[in-house]
């Protein structure tokens, strides 16, 4: 039955819709706590089928081999069977049985949770014939397996119904097919269908209308989740209120939990854009009404949000975020319980012993709220000896509220490095980049290290420096010099502008492809062994995969706290085509 249900959903998804199709949400009862709707199933599938990335993926040998899988062949055989019996090719058939949309809804509650699937068709005769064909196929399969629970035909609300055990019921009424694990859900949907234009389905809820306005227009697929259910749970107050017992939740998700507390719903969608795709998650609450103590994650007032990402040559991944760790100490009594505060203060009092006389609370209040991290491909290592496996370089950059604090960090890192040199021989290096000093360490090349026979240490020459009010730590001196130039130029030419974004992430297809290329030999061996192909063919397949990854372009994620809304936008941005 799961196969038939899956087939029905797939067929409905790739149907050609009516130009003025009514939303299937009108047939979903308001009791549902979440739903997913495909407003234009044909648009979704056609967009995917025509996508250049998928087109290039089809050309990969590994993807082509999927066509030989038993389940894939059976699926094509099943589609051919429906085409023959219904007397039309699948696009026309699908237009008739599911051309007006698909919706999946769930009522969160006792297990198993009640669910409902609504498939809207355009032709009652074709829909009924498709339903009967699917039922006959199911009966044949269950008889072949000598199953005990065979389909039981019946009637519900003037419609044909089929019951299979206690897990699934299906109803066909006119050009609509309903699937559910609860008869009550089917009754409510049939009543909505009978009510016609007067039906009060879930689409009439105010929060659903608000979600539609909050999301981009004409999404390929969209999702809605009602938060009222969670807020009514007995443990909800402990999770959503301050202070809470779980320190982890407060430190990493405090502001997000506050948004949930002040929002009625969450919504999400996937949309096609000119340059690629947009996946977004949105809530109808933002900085307004948020306690000042939660400014750890959110810039308050005129504070500047996340800074522009760093993009040195060969960037694979770059992140820029806002995280004001100092506010954990400033607002500790509002954020944490009395017992937690007591533990923090005790730790802070003893921390001076390990921090050269500096208390932990003093250090975090001198560190700024802007953090940046970057990973890059860097072919030059600065060593004569080369590692057997090359690794990318990376760096971390943080604001300093007082640039003089860089000297304190300098002393702390030097002390830690001095202890490290008692175990592994490293040479201190002090270099200049313009007016700035870069302090680094290189591993000795005149000694073997039994723990590192592959020479992985020669991927690294750790260094640090203070550039204006920015403190950077890099895995290589080469990257350190490049970032020093970028940070110095940024400080002198790019004034900071107010931003509501708190987190920006970018993954570059070119950089990711170069990273995969570092492991090309291992991938070739794995491909040759798994597919039993000669090395030349394995190399060709790996090169094709690397080229496909390069075609990803960029994946850009932005988290924004607006005044009255919150959003996480993830964009897949394809490379621009070269001008002719």
Phi, psi (5° rounding) for residue 396? -130, 135
Instruction: Convert the pLDDT of each residue in 303-317 to its tens digit.
Output: 888 999 999 999 999
Q: Let me know: does 373 contact 323? Beta carbons within 8 Å.
A: no
Question: Which of 493, 496, 567, 489 lies closest to 305, judged by CA?
Answer: 496
Q: How confident is the model at residue 579 (pLDDT cuts 50, 70, 90)?
A: very low
Q: What's the Cα-to-Cα distance from 308 to each of 318, 554, 572, rounded to whole Å?
A: 10, 16, 19
Collect all residues with Cβ–Cβ distance below 8 Å to 76 and sequence separation of at least 6: none
Q: What is the reported pLDDT for 304?
A: 85
What's the rounded mean pLDDT across residues 468-486?
94
pTM of the model: 0.87
Q: Looking at beta carbons, which pairs linking 254-259 to residues 24 or more positions away fall under 8 Å?
A: 254/294, 254/296, 254/297, 254/335, 255/290, 255/294, 255/296, 255/297, 255/298, 255/561, 256/297, 258/290, 258/291, 258/294, 259/283, 259/285, 259/286, 259/290, 259/566
Question: Looking at residue 232, what DSSP letter applies?
Answer: T
What's the rounded mean pLDDT across residues 87-104?
83
What's the rounded mean pLDDT across residues 408-429?
75
Q: Looking at beta carbons, which pairs linking 66-75 to residues 24 or more positions away fall under 8 Å?
A: 75/7
Q: What is the reported pLDDT for 11?
A: 41
Instruction: Convert the pLDDT of each residue in 443-452 to its tens digit.
Output: 888 877 878 8
Collect all residues with Cβ–Cβ distance below 8 Å to 285 and sequence separation of at least 6: 259, 262, 263, 564, 565, 566
Q: Which two tokens stand for residue 498?
A: 């107010």
Instruction: Convert the pLDDT of each residue in 109-153 to its tens digit.
Output: 777 889 999 998 888 999 899 999 998 988 888 888 888 778 898
Q: What is the reported pLDDT for 17?
A: 36
Question: Which of 178, 171, 175, 224 lies closest to 202, judged by CA?
Answer: 224
Q: What is the reported pLDDT for 504?
A: 96
Instruction: Convert the pLDDT of each residue in 67-84 to its tens digit.
Output: 667 787 888 888 898 889
Q: What is the reported pLDDT for 512?
A: 93
Per-residue pLDDT for 22 more than 90? no
Calpha distance 87→576 (Å, rounded): 43
Q: What is the reported pLDDT for 527?
A: 84
* CA pseudo-torsion sign 261, 263, 269, 275: negative
Q: What is the mean pLDDT of the chain?
A: 86
Q: What is the reported pLDDT for 359?
A: 84
Question: Which of 121, 94, 133 lies closest to 175, judged by CA?
Answer: 121
Instruction: Convert the pLDDT of each residue in 352-373 to its tens digit.
Output: 777 767 788 888 888 899 999 9
Per-residue pLDDT for 18 more than 60? no
Q: What's the Cα-to-Cα distance from 309 to each of 64, 83, 315, 477, 501, rounded to whole Å?
A: 38, 52, 11, 20, 12
């Amino acid at each position: 039955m799961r196969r038939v249900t899956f087939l029905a959903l797939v067929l409905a998804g790739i149907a050609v819709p009516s130009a003025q199709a009514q939303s299937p949400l009108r047939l979903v009862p308001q009791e549902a706590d979440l739903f997913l709707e495909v407003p234009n199933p044909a648009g979704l599938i056609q967009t995917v089928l025509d996508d250049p990335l998928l087109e290039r993926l089809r050309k990969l040998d590994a993807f082509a081999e999927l066509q030989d899988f038993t389940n894939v062949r059976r699926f094509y055989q099943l589609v051919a069977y429906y085409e023959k019996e219904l007397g039309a090719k699948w696009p026309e058939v699908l237009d008739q049985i599911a051309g007006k949309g698909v919706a999946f809804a769930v009522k969160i509650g006792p297990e198993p949770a009640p669910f409902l699937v609504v498939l809207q068709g355009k032709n009652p005769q074709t829909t009924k014939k498709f339903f009967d064909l699917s039922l006959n196929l199911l009966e044949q399969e269950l008889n072949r397996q000598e199953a005990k629970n065979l389909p039981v035909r019946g009637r519900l609300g003037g419609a044909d119904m089929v019951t299979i055990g206690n897990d699934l019921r299906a109803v066909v009424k006119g050009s609509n097919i309903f699937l559910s694990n609860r008869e009550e859900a089917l009754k409510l949907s049939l009543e909505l269908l009978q009510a016609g234009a007067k039906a009060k389905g879930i689409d009439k809820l105010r929060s659903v209308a608000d979600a539609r306005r909050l999301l981009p227009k004409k999404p390929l697929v969209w999702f809605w989740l009602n938060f009222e259910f969670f807020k009514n749970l007995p443990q909800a107050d402990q999770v959503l209120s301050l202070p809470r017992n779980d320190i982890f939740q407060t430190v990493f998700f405090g502001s997000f939990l506050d948004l949930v507390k002040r929002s009625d719903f969450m919504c999400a969608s996937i949309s096609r854009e000119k340059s690629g795709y947009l996946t977004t998650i949105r809530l109808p609450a933002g900085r307004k009404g948020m306690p000042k103590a939660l400014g750890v994650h959110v810039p308050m007032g005129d504070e500047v949000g996340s800074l522009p990402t760093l993009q040195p040559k060969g960037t694979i991944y770059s992140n820029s975020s806002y995280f004001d760790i100092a506010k954990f100490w400033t607002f500790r009594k509002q954020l944490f319980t009395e017992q937690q505060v007591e533990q923090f203060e005790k730790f802070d009092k003893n921390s001076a012993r390990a921090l050269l006389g500096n208390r932990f609370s003093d250090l975090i209040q001198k560190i700024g709220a802007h953090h940046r991290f970057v990973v890059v491909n860097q072919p030059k290592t600065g060593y004569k000896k080369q590692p057997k496996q090359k690794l990318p370089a990376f760096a971390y950059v943080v604001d300093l509220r007082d640039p003089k604090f860089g000297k304190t960090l300098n002393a702390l890192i030097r002390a830690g490095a001095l202890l490290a040199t008692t175990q592994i021989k490293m040479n201190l290096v002090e270099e200049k980049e313009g007016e700035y000093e870069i302090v680094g360490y290189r591993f000795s090349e005149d000694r073997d290290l039994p723990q590192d026979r592959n020479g992985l240490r020669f991927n690294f020459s750790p260094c640090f420096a203070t550039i204006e009010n920015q403190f950077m730590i890099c895995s290589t001196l080469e990257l350190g010099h490049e970032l020093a130039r970028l940070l110095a130029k940024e400080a002198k030419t790019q004034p900071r502008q107010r931003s509501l974004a708190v987190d920006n992430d970018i993954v570059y297809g070119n950089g990711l492809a170069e990273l995969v290329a570092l492991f090309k030999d291992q991938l070739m061996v794995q491909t040759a062994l798994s597919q039993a192909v000669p090395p030349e063919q394995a190399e060709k397949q790996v090169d094709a995969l690397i080229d496909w990854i390069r075609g990803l372009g960029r994946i850009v994620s932005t988290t924004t706290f607006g005044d009255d809304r919150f959003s996480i936008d993830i964009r897949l941005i394809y490379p621009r085509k070269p001008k002719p």
